[in-house]
Amino acid sequence: MRTIEWSDGIVTTVDQTKLPQKEIILKIKTLDDMAEAIRNMRVRGAPLLGASAAYGLALTAFNSRVSNKDALIEELKSSGKTLKATRPTAVNLFWAIDRILKKIIDSSKNLDEIRYLVIQEAQKIADEDVKANRAIGKNGAELINDGDVILTHCNAGALATVDYGTALGVIRAAWEQGKKIEVIATETRPLLQGARLTIYELKRDGIPVKLITDSMVGFLIQKKMINKVVVGADRIVKDAIINKIGTFTLAVIAKEYNVPFYVAAPKSTFDLSKMSKEITIEERKQEEVTHFRSLPVAASGVEVFNPAFDITPYKYVSGIIHEEGVFFKKDFETFGIDTFTKKNNPEIV
């Protein structure tokens, strides 16, 4: 089953804030409900945010009662604004909205054709994500050896994408090839996507996994208990990868001990026209740190920093696994990251 599916004006997904203790299926029928689900991280993960935003526009198109084409385009633009205001960091969300809007603006299609086009393009974005993840898995699995112990952070799995996953796609593909691997998953505070989602996915697939707190990474790498790191990304910019808070800390430790550090992400996550300093790092609410669900865990009244992402400069990255291959450190050191992208994927630069 896909993490997100469209059928006759209803988007079906699972509420990821409640997993794994409760599997609550969401039936999202309006743009506003989709925006709420994104904002409150009921759906999360960069590629899934792309598909969710696309389906958000599809809901607007499906539900619209306007009587002319221009009014529908205005309504879709307004929905795009609403969606873009939900979460600022993962680029896939912006990419999906712009891709759909570009398709319809100045098109010669009529009202019903545009309605259909938006829904069709959203479906296409979701379908392409599944294909991209399968390709990422295949490309990444070549880097994984029999016996590897692989550290991953947060959840870059089926639940972060439409299906299969990016970092977990690499792990799944290696496992499906019969490689005997083990995974170490960080719990990923504050929202525990590692403990809740990655463990849930890997146990369901029967892939051996152990859970650690984020603070244990140094100890395990020092003890040579980890020999590869694979993570996802929320945005890949000219000078760095931006991913879940804690990724950078982990990358520095990996480099210190010469453990290869790979990033797995589809091209929809690439935003190579920008530098990391131009990107807004989302600061989320204090309660995510001071509480677990409704249980207070900190002394009351304390001030909190809660950046949701951090920035890992390329000097810490061994390679970027994408759907067309792997871009290695030596390549981007020699040619620059934008040369690579211009070559392989000219339209996104």
Q: Which residues are catalytic?
A: 234
Q: Kindly report the length of the chain.
A: 349
- Interface pick for a second copy out of 13, 64, 188, 269 (rule CB under 8 A): 188
> Mind giving me the DSSP string for 42-56?
SS-SHHHHHHHHHHH
203 in contact with a second copy (CB under 8 A): yes
Of 309 and 340, which CB lies nearer to a second copy in the complex structure?
309
Q: Which of 145, 222, 258, 273 lies at the binding interface for a second copy (CB under 8 A)? A: 222
Per CB under 8 A, the list member of 68, 298, 330, 343 interacting with a second copy is 298
Looking up tokens 């990996």, which residue turns up?
A: 254
Task: Work out how close the CB of 243 gets to a second copy at its nearest, in angstroms, rounded to a whole number.
Answer: 11
Per-residue mark of binding to a second copy, 19-58 (x: CB under 8 A): -xx-------------------------------------
Beta pairing class for 149-152 and 182-186: parallel
Candidates 34-42, 116-124, 166-174, 212-220: pick the segment binding a second copy (CB under 8 A).
Answer: 212-220
| Nearer Cβ to a second copy (177/286) | 286
Q: Kindly state whether residue 116 participates in binding a second copy, applying the rule CB under 8 A.
A: no
Distances (CA, A) of 252 to 176, 183, 210, 241: 30, 19, 22, 13
The residue within the footprint of a second copy, chosen from 178, 293, 346, 347 (CB under 8 A), is 293
H/E stretch holding 97? helix 91-104
Nearest to 37 by CA among 77, 87, 95: 87
User: 147 or 307, CB closer to a second copy?
Assistant: 307
Cα 204–207–213 angle (5° rounding)? 90
DSSP character for 21? T
Judged by CB under 8 A, the residue of 109, 112, 145, 219 near a second copy is: 219
- Alpha-carbon separation of residue 228 from 122, 152, 321 (angstroms): 35, 9, 14
Determine, following the binding rule CB under 8 A, whether residue 209 of this chain makes contact with a second copy.
Answer: yes
With binding defined as CB under 8 A, does residue 295 bind a second copy? yes
Residue 340's Cβ-count burial label (10 Å; 0-12, 13-18, 19+) is buried
Binding of a second copy by 192 (CB under 8 A): yes
Of 207, 220, 203, 189, nearest in space to 297 by CA: 189
Q: How many angstroms separate the Cα of 88 from the Cα of each of 94, 114, 154, 156, 209?
A: 9, 27, 18, 18, 32
Which of 57, 159, 199, 207 is close enough to bind a second copy by CB under 8 A?
199
60/290 with CB nearer a second copy:
290
Site for a second copy in 226-265 (CB under 8 A): 245-246, 248-253, 256
Nearer to a second copy, 144 or 221 (CB): 221
Contact between 311 and a second copy by CB under 8 A: the answer reads yes
Looking at the DSSP bridge assignments, the partners of residue 296 are 291
Tokens of 298: 């900190």
Q: Assess 267 for contact with a second copy (CB under 8 A).
A: no
Separation of alpha carbons 95 and 271, rounded Å? 9
Residue written as token pair 């389906």: 55
- Decide: is 195 part of the binding site for a second copy (CB under 8 A): yes
**Based on CB atoms, which residue is closest to a second copy, 84 or 291?**
291
Contacts to a second copy by CB under 8 A: 20-21, 184, 186-190, 192, 195-197, 199-200, 203, 209-220, 222, 245-246, 248-253, 256, 289-290, 292-293, 295-305, 307, 310-311
